[in-house]
Every structure is written in C-alpha cells, then in structure tokens.
C-alpha cells in the first residue's frame, strides 16, 4: 500500500489496503506500507498519522517498518544520474512556458495534454546552462512502439508509446517524480505484486519502461475498478468518501467495515459474511470484479448491525469507550453488570455504536425527554388512571422480575378489556421517553422498582401540567 499523505485515508484507499493485505496473507507473503511524501507542498505529517491510525484500527498494519519515500530521494537521484550517463535519460532546461508555446505553434491549438517535443534530448550542455533550473527526463526507447503487460484483473493491456512523451523523472527542485520514485522503491522493497486503482493504468507503461531501463524486474500489476456512489458517479464525500477514522468515531466496528469493503468488488458465490480467517483462505485476485462497485450505505449499516448483534456486550463497551465520544461517559454510574445488561437490551436494535451510546444515555437518565409525537399518539384521557393502577401493580410486585411483571400487567390489561399495547406504550414513554424501545418488562426489571416508579411519576406530573 503506497498512499500519498496529502489527505486522510478514504474508502477507496481502504479497499486497496484490504485487497493487498488479503493477497499477501493468502500467499504467505508480506504486506508493506510506503508513505509517498515527495509532494512536499501538499504532504502533511498529520495525514501520515491519520493513515497509520486508520490501518491500525482496521488491523492491517505493515509487516515491516514504514518506508518514507522522501528519505530515499538521494537514491532516486543517484539512479536518475546513472540513466543520464547511459543515455537513457537527459537534462532538460526548458521552462514549462517554453514547452507549452512550442506545442501551440506545432499543433495550432490549446490541447489539454501538452506533449514534450524532445527539444533537449540531443542538446549539448553549455556553460550558459550552468545556472538554469533543469529537470531530468526519461528518454523513451525508440525500439519499442508499444508496451504491454498482463494485468491480473483486466487481462492483456497494450499501450502505444506514441501516446507518451519523454516524461520527467526528477523535478527542478531535486525531488523525484511519482513514476520514477515508485519504481526505485518497489525494487528496494522487493515488491512482487501491486494491487491499486484503475487510475494508475496510465502510469504502468511508464513504470515498466523504467524497470527495464534500470535492469529491474517489474512486479505483477492488478488494477481495481473505482467505487461509485449511488448516483453512478465517482464516490463523493456526500456518498461516503470520508476519512476512515470518521467511521471509527461514528461507531462502526472494524470487522464490519472490513467485511463490507472486501465485498465491494470481490465475491465468493453468494456468501456475504466472512470471518477474517475465511477471507484469507478464500481471497484471490481472479474474483475481483472488473466492473465498478457501488457504495451502499444501507448495506454497510446492515453489516455493522449484524456484527454488533453478534458481539459480546463487554467487547462493545470497550469499543464504545475507546472510539466514540459521547456525554454518557461523563455521567455513567452503572456497574459492569448493569452496563452489560443494558447493552444486551439494545444491541439488537442499533446499527452503530453511536446509536447504542445514545440509547444507553436515555436509559441511564436521570432526566427523560418525551417525544411529542408519541405523546400525541399513545396518551389518552384514560392514561393517567391506567398508570396509577400500573403503579400499584409495580409497588406490589415481589420479586421485581420480567416473568412476574409480564404475568401481572398482562392480566390487568385483560381484566380491563384493554389491548396490551395501549398500556405498554405509555409505560415505555415513561421509562425512556419514546414508544420504540426494548421489551417493556425487560426495561422495568433493568431499572428496578424505585426508578421505574419515579419515571412513571415524572410522566404523570408532565401530563398533568398539560
């Protein structure tokens, strides 16, 4: 994985990480991370830190120490000068304005792609050039009219060299250009396979020529199709192209996001849910789809809800405390046993840990905000009388258990010729402020007799105020 630290890690980059990591694990190989920071103006340390934190959260850290590309610039320059000595590269003193002007005169138009005309390729360097800024350009080999390779996903790809020009490998500030730096560093890191986005297909012929010129063996390449948003356009921030750490803070479980991302462009029959061990065993590049995948927030939420339901309460609490910022952590006075019981009540009802924290905050109290729409729907002129009778049942209930409360309250509703829901919903509103909640008897038993009575009294007072 070779991110440019000019921004945070997003979903497209995360999927690339996952594919590389699974490929390496499947073949008992090594997964490596290189920080490509030679764009000094845009690369920021905080972005590098964000990328590293994202990978650590997802459990796909590099198997060896990070390679920082900017630290290897002296080696890039040494090999570039070696190519100039061999006649495979040359110094170019043309300014960008001069290149554009010559192109305009030749083509008679303002093309988007300005092709360098090789002006300095045979130019003899004179004393007058000594103080001029220069770049080093790669001299396209005349013996090759086309460059082809077998892409592990896309099959045979051939690019005609007439589409290329003598591209820059060392900039005028001495920093390496992307295509040259990655070739040198891939060889240094002993990279055998590269899985990356389809936007890099255009870079591959340049890199293959550089490998050959340097006498290095090119790795095998696999280019994944992009991820689209629901509209069919490139994934935007509105659709989910946000910092991976934002998913962490929003309460997504790393295993759920991992599972969803690997299924976003890879499949194994109709199976949806995989353990990480299964994915390592089954993953192969042949099953990566050639067509673009479409990001589906609803499907991601489904995965996350599934993983939350299957998780142990203590594990969910640990992830909540470590990853989600919420006011509940400042006021909570529950024991570990109460925390586990509360999470068990709600974990089947939420899609994210943030939702879970919100529900626990309501359950914890002490104040309850009543949903006005639920009040209007479920509170009738008879509700105060019904709640007074329910209070008496609760006061007499001993032990204060789910089973006893269920029997007594249901029997009272039957005797009163009242549908159970007509009293269950007002009780829910009293306990948590809304009619959507876990089972009413489970809530009563969790809160206990005194707290349940207190909350019912509060609702009664609220209703009496009108």
* Active site members: 237
Taking a C-beta distance cutoff of 8 angstroms, is the pair 265, 288 a contact? yes
314 close to 57: Cβ distance less than 8 angstroms: no
The tokens of 76 are what? 């890039």
């Amino acid at each position: 994985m070779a991110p440019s630290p000019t921004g945070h890690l997003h979903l497209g980059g995360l999927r690339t990480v996952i594919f590389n990591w699974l490929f390496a694990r499947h073949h008992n190989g090594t997964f490596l991370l290189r920080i490509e920071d030679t764009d000094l103006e845009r690369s920021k340390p905080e972005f590098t830190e964000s990328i590293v934190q994202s990978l650590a959260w997802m459990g796909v850290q590099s198997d060896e120490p990070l390679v920082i590309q900017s630290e290897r610039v002296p080696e890039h320059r040494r090999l570039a000068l070696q190519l100039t000595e061999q006649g495979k590269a040359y110094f170019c003193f043309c300014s960008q304005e001069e290149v554009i002007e010559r192109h305009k005169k030749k083509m008679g138009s303002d093309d988007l792609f300005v092709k360098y005309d090789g002006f300095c390729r045979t130019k003899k360097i004179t004393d007058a050039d000594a103080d001029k800024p220069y770049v080093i350009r790669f001299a396209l080999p005349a013996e090759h009219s086309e460059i082809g390779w077998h892409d592990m996903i896309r099959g045979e790809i051939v690019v005609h060299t007439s589409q290329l020009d003598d591209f820059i490998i060392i900039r005028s500030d001495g920093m390496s250009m992307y295509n040259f730096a990655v070739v040198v560093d891939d060889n240094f890191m002993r990279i055998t396979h590269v899985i990356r986005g389809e936007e890099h297909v255009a870079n591959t012929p340049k890199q293959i020529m550089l490998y050959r010129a340097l006498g290095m063996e090119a790795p095998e390449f696999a280019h994944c199709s992009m991820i689209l948003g629901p509209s069919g356009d490139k994934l935007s921030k509105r659709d989910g192209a946000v910092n991976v750490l934002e998913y962490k803070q929003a309460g997504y479980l790393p295993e759920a996001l991992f599972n969803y991302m690997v299924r976003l462009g890879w499949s194994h029959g109709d199976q949806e849910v995989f353990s990480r061990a299964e994915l390592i065993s089954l993953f192969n590049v042949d099953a990566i789809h050639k067509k673009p995948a479409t990001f589906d927030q609803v499907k991601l939420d489904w995965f996350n809800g599934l993983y939350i339901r299957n998780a142990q309460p203590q594990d969910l609490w640990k992830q909540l405390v470590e990853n989600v910022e919420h006011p509940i952590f400042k006021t909570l006075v529950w024991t570990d046993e109460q925390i586990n019981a509360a999470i068990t009540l709600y974990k089947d009802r939420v899609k994210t840990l943030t939702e879970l924290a919100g529900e626990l905050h309501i359950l914890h109290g002490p104040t309850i905000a009543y949903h006005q729409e639920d009040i209007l729907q479920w509170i009738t002129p008879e509700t105060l009388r019904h709640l007074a009778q329910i209070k008496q049942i609760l006061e007499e209930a001993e032990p204060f258990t789910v089973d006893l409360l269920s029997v007594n309250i249901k029997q009272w509703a039957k005797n009163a010729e009242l549908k159970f829901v007509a009293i269950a919903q007002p009780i829910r509103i009293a306990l948590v402020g809304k009619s959507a909640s876990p089972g009413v008897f489970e809530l009563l038993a969790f809160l206990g007799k005194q707290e349940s009575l207190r909350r019912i009294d509060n609702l009664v007072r609220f209703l009496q105020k009108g």
